[in-house]
């Protein structure tokens, strides 16, 4: 029986080649004088990642007027931190693509994550945040703890699923009861170990209770709302069968006009198809 979230992530993921790319990306990130070509060079070493990123930035989600052919060009147009975050987010997805689980459909899991990422990105764009891609990545990774629970504690995960379905409670409250913590804590422990930005860590840890976020309350509130929207739109599922309970204070913090909600959801649905094709499509 696991005692702490950290017990679950120990030796959780087989990383291999991705790790070296990831380590070098982080190195580039940590250097404020790194340039577009530095980041481009690292990404270009992974043809699969390069193809995914170019598909993504050329998709109607971005709507750049002309075709973007190279990663360096993509960086100068989408922004360096932005593209770097996208690279890390989609690389992370690849790490989990082969989680062997009969409990969760990983394809459906990532669809939910992409929908949440798109909703978060839209909310951030409305607030004219400098790096909206980081919100996309935050949405993409917010439930990352769940496949780890499925992988490392399958018995507890199965009981949690059954209990949640029987008692009509949200899965994360049942996780909390059975394990003493829920998938948010597990995901946050993982992202922290991988030295990802603090905003991603806190948004993942607190996305079911944004009021307890201390460093990034507005960012966490955005991910919280995006998660509610993604569940409501039923675009994919992370194993949750109920729409998570919604915190009204988060809505106040994000300051999104209720009149814009229908338009935002519509846009997420349209972008969803393009994003799924770009990120999860076969590599040529």
Partner 1 sequence: MTIPLGELDRATADAAAEAARAMNRWLLDALDHVASVGIVQPGHDIESGRDDLLAQAGAALTRICPISGSAFFLLDPDATDFPLAWCDPADRRDEFVAEIDAQIANGVFAWALQTNHPVLVPAATTGGTSLLHALATRNGPMGLYLGTIADRSPYIPDGCQKLISIVLTSCATNLRSEELRAELKRINKGLEAAIEQRTTELRQARDAAFRAAQVKSEFLANMSHEIRTPMNAVLGTAAMLMDTELAADQRALAETIERSGRDLLAIINDILDFSKLEAGKLRVESIPFELAPTVTAVVDLLTAKAEAKGIRLRAKIADGTPREVLGDPGRLRQVLTNLIDNAIKFTHEGFVMVHVAPEPGPPDVHPVTFTIRDSGIGMTPEQLARIFEKFTQADTSTTRKYGGTGLGLTICRQLTELMGGAISASSEPGNGSAFTVLVPFKAPAEPAAPAEPQVPAPTRLTGRVLLAEDYPANQKIARWMLERLGLEVVIAPDGKEVLAALATDARFDLILMDCQMPEMDGYDATRAVRASEAAWHQIPIIAMTAAALASDRDRCFASGMNDYISKPVQQEELARVLARWLPAA
Residues near partner 1 (CB under 8 A): 29, 31-37, 39, 63-66, 72, 76-77, 79-82, 125, 127-132
What does the alpha-carbon distance between residue 63 and residue 229 come to, in Å, rounded to a whole number?
23
Min CB(22)–partner 1 separation in Å: 18
**Least separation in angstroms between CB 29 and partner 1:** 8
* Token pair belonging to 270: 């349209």
**How far is residue 171's CA from residue 185's CA, in Å, rounded to a whole number?**
14
- By beta-carbon proximity to partner 1, the closer residue of 31 and 241 is 31
Residue 196 phi/psi, 5-degree rounding, is -80, 160
For partner 1, which is the closer residue by CB, 32 or 248?
32
- Residue 129 beta carbon to partner 1: minimum distance, rounded to whole angstroms: 7
- Minimum Å gap between C-beta 235 and partner 1 is 24
Distance CA 91, CA 117 (A): 15
Give me the least distance between CB of 189 and partner 1, in Å please: 28
Residue 224 contacts residue 208 (beta carbons within 8 Å) = yes
Integer angstrom CA distances of residue 186 from 26, 80, 173, 179, 200: 21, 29, 14, 11, 13
Nearest CB to partner 1, comparing residues 57 and 164: 57
CB-CB contact of 104 with 185 (8 Å): no
| Residue 58 or 176 having the CB closest to partner 1 | 58
87: Cβ contacts below 8 Å, ≥ 6 apart: 25, 39, 43, 49, 53
Would you say 60 or 154 has its CB closer to partner 1? 60
């Amino acid at each position: 029986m696991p005692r702490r979230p950290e017990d679950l992530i120990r030796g959780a993921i087989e990383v291999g080649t991705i790790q070296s790319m990831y380590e070098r990306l982080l190195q580039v990130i940590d250097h404020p004088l790194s340039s577009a070509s530095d980041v481009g060079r690292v990404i270009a070493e992974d043809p699969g990642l390069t193809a995914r990123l170019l598909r993504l930035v050329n998709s109607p989600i971005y709507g750049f007027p002309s075709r973007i052919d190279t990663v360096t060009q993509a960086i100068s147009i989408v922004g360096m931190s932005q593209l770097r975050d996208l690279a890390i987010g989609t690389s992370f997805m690849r790490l989990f693509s082969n989680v062997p689980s009969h409990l969760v459909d990983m394809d459906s899991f990532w669809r939910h994550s992409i929908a949440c990422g798109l909703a978060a990105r839209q909310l951030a764009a409305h607030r004219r945040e400098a790096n909206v891609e980081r919100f996309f990545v935050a949405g993409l990774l917010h439930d990352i703890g769940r496949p780890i629970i499925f992988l490392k504690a399958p018995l507890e995960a199965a009981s949690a699923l059954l209990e949640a379905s029987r008692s009509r409670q949200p899965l994360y409250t049942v996780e909390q009861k059975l394990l003493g913590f829920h998938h948010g804590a597990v995901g946050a422990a993982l992202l922290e170990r991988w030295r990802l930005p603090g905003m991603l860590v806190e948004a993942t840890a607190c996305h079911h209770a944004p009021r307890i976020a201390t460093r990034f309350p507005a960012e966490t509130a955005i991910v919280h709302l995006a998660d509610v929207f993604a569940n409501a739109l039923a675009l994919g599922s992370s194993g949750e069968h109920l729409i998570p309970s919604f915190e009204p204070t988060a809505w106040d913090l994000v300051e999104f006009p209720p009149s814009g909600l229908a338009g935002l959801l519509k846009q997420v649905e349209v972008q969803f198809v393009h994003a799924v094709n770009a990120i999860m499509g076969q590599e040529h």
